[in-house]
Chains A and B, each alone.
Chain A
Amino acid sequence: MIADVLALLAFPCIAAFIFVGMHTWLGLQVLRRKVIFADLALAQLSALGATVAVAIGHAPGSAGAFTYALLFTLAGAVMLTLSRRVSVDVSQEAVIGIVYVVATALTVLVVDRSPQGAEHVKRMLVGSILTIGPADVFKLTLLYGAVGLLHTAFRRPILAAASDNRGHASWTLTFWDFVFYGSFGLVVTSSVALAGVLLVFSFLIIPAVIGTLFSRQIGAALAIGWSAGVLASLLGFGASLVLDVPTGAAMVAAFALVLVAAMLIRVFARSSASRLQPKQVARVALAVLAGAVFLESCWLMLSPRGDHPLLAGFEVLTGIGPERFLTATERSVYTDAAQTELRNRGEVERLRALEREARWKGKELGEEELRRVASFQQSFNEMGRGERFVQDHLRATARARERWYVGLPAMLLSALCLAWFISGVRKRRARVSTGRRGGDVTVAP
């Protein structure tokens, strides 16, 4: 089992590290150039190129399709490069947005007018990182190696072009801009096809943002971004495995988590130097919690039958469910309904398994028998729904009683808490203003 897991995840993991390595560097430049969504526009253009190629008769995945995709991406790179020259009048983000939207619309039009096969290409932008194999990793290494070498050799002019903020740039600058966008398009196009739009955007932007949070220097920012990216990737793979959730989405969530953690570290690191105290942070957090509890308990008092997410969480954590507030008879009805629902569901499952097996084993089910099975399944499902309705109704009744025992105290307690917080803020303000007025007089604590 462990060996299986390793065999399955080894190549996706290697690919993720390669992605982090390349994209953090590009992401830092994207941040400096303020062209956050350029990757989406270029990827969409390459999808359009591949779609056009398939529509005029090249096989999907062939050299012809790749050439078209490449040419369209390079055309996009030219557009983005030139857009900077007019960006004094029009923001570059606007041009990027327009390129993205128009490329998407044109793709739809081309797919619509072309014979079979073009529909494949529409899915070019939804790669799946889990199914990356050794051949993909090999290709990635070659391509990214070449782009990486180019960028290492010419990092100075490329960086200079990125951080130059003059409006009308010189033609040398424009040349380096084109080198950047061209190689960027090449990288993004291949990574989006393998890992999907969402994940590539995360690879590109989040580690770069984390790096920029901690350092203005490109070298340090790069190192921090790389470590954060590798950490987030590992976290995402682990979570996807342990919680059994789709890998790409889990990785995006992991990247966000690492970003939040980095922001907190940043805030606290700065606060030790300046006036923000941990005690103060705790006080604000408590106040926010009290506010949420106050709103939730007011809502519970007003409408006990509505949805109560905070209360439901509290009930799950403490085990104090609404069942406590039912009479003995009501409670027996409640558990009975829950059990009947479970039994009905089991019955549906049994019928389903029976029908499934009869598809290929033993005697075939006739039309009439099949219809009978279907109507039984339907009735059991309906009955299950009835039982669920009974449970919902009883839970609502219980909540109506619960509000006096849980909702009212919670409301009063959180109101007190808020009042204490507000008076604390007022006192401190008064202290600051009297202090400013020049006396050493402090207001009584």
Chain B
Amino acid sequence: LATTPDLKSIAESVTGGAVRVETLVPPGTDAEAFEPRPSHLGLVRDAVLVIRVGLGFDDWLDRLIVQSGNTRVQRGAEAQLDLSKEVALLEVQGRSVEQQSGHAHGAANPHYWLDPANAEAMGAVIAEAVVRVAPEKRASIEASHDRFRAELKARLERWTRALEPHRGAPIVAYHNSWPYFARRFRLNIVDVIEPKEGVPPTAARLLSLAATIRSKKVRVIVHEPFEPMEASRSLSQRTGAQVVVLAPSVGGAPGTETYFALFDRNVDLLGKALAGQP
């Protein structure tokens, strides 16, 4: 059981269909505003392995697990994988304190799956954990894990090549979801339009953003499907920068049904926009 469609897609590729993988957050919805349905309780109750994003991104999972009474997968148990422990994090805060253990957990930017290189470590941990709960399927899982690694490597090279000409290109994002993506493909996110979710940008902020866009010659505003368009659109009209709607997770837009397809589309759209094509 995975909390988001991204983790589900990675887990499916890694296991090659040897196990059943379900996602709690349906594709194409906002994971941070997730509301569980009764059927989700059943999914959690029957899960033998839970894979989560962590970092406060899917905190609602803990209450679901308590409610379902499935103690095998509770926080800290071996059958709960918090993938944030496997990757190098960006923008670490160190302010949040975990209620359960009382130690500083170091909340960081949670969108780490948007760096495809992180998927290698994530996939490896998932494969290992699945083999642990289903040892009889070891051979087939290892084979598909190898396939996953090879394909990831090949595609990563292709994506990097596609965005290579735009190295260091200045970009404005609507929300701070893209630091990992930017780091992998060497893009320069100069500013974000809405630093705090739900608080619309002020007049002075819109002005300074327009000034930044002009002075740094930003050509692209990266936008996610569910974010309010008004601010990005008016900035785009005032400065001529192009708004590109990129999906932040699997299923967030048509043509992003798997983890690989997600990057195919995002890289393609972004590359075209940066090259100045509509």
Contacts and interface: CB of A to CB of B under 8 A. Distances in A.
Contacts of B179: 359
A244 interface: yes
A130 interface: yes
A267 interface: no
B200 A116 contact: no
B154 interface: no
B230 A127 contact: yes
A247 B204 CA distance: 10
B233 A131 contact: yes
Interface stretch (B7-15, B60-68, B91-99): B91-99
B186 A131 contact: no
Given A130-B203, A247-B202, A381 B186 contact: no
Contacts of B92: 374-375, 377-378, 381
B204 A244 contact: yes
Given A116-B28, A374-B89, A360 B168 contact: yes
Contact of B186 (A240, A352, A360, A374): A360
A76 B228 CA distance: 26
Nearest to A367: B88
Interface string A352-364: 1001000111001
A9 B194 CA distance: 19
A155 interface: no
A89 interface: no
Interface in A239-291: 240-241, 244-248
Contact of B94 (A127, A364, A382): A382
Contacts of A428: none
Nearest to B121: A367
B93 A374 contact: no
Interface in A361-396: 361, 364, 367, 370-371, 374-375, 377-382, 385
Contacts of A382: 94, 104
A5 interface: yes
Contacts of A131: 206, 230-231, 233-234
A127 B233 CA distance: 13
A438 B199 CA distance: 65
B203 A248 contact: no
Contact of A128 (B168, B210, B211, B231): B231
Is chain A's interface secondary structure helix, strand, loop, or mixed overall? helix
A157 interface: no
Contacts of A440: none
Given A127-B230, A247-B200, A382-B94, A370 B210 contact: no
A119 B186 contact: no
B168 A361 contact: yes
A29 to B, nearest CB: 30
Contacts of B30: 119
Contact of B228 (A123, A245, A248, A364): A123
Given A116-B28, A355-B90, A360 B203 contact: no
B275 to A, nearest CB: 17
Interface in A5-21: 5, 8-9
A395 B30 CA distance: 43
Contact of A247 (B186, B189, B203, B253): B203
A362 to B, nearest CB: 10
A116 B253 CA distance: 7
Interface in B54-81: none
Interface in B6-32: 27-30
B206 A8 contact: yes
Contacts of A248: 200
Contacts of B90: 355, 370, 374
Contacts of B206: 8, 130-131
A114 to B, nearest CB: 10
B216 interface: no
B183 A241 contact: no
Contacts of B172: none
9 contacts: A4-B211, A119-B225, A130-B202, A133-B234, A244-B205, A367-B88, A370-B90, A377-B92, A378-B104
Interface of B: 27-30, 37, 88-95, 104, 106, 108, 167-168, 179, 182-183, 186-189, 199-207, 210-211, 225-226, 228, 230-231, 233-234, 237, 251-254
Q: Which 8 A-B pairs have the closest CB atoms?
A: A381-B94, A378-B94, A131-B230, A370-B88, A116-B28, A359-B183, A360-B188, A374-B92
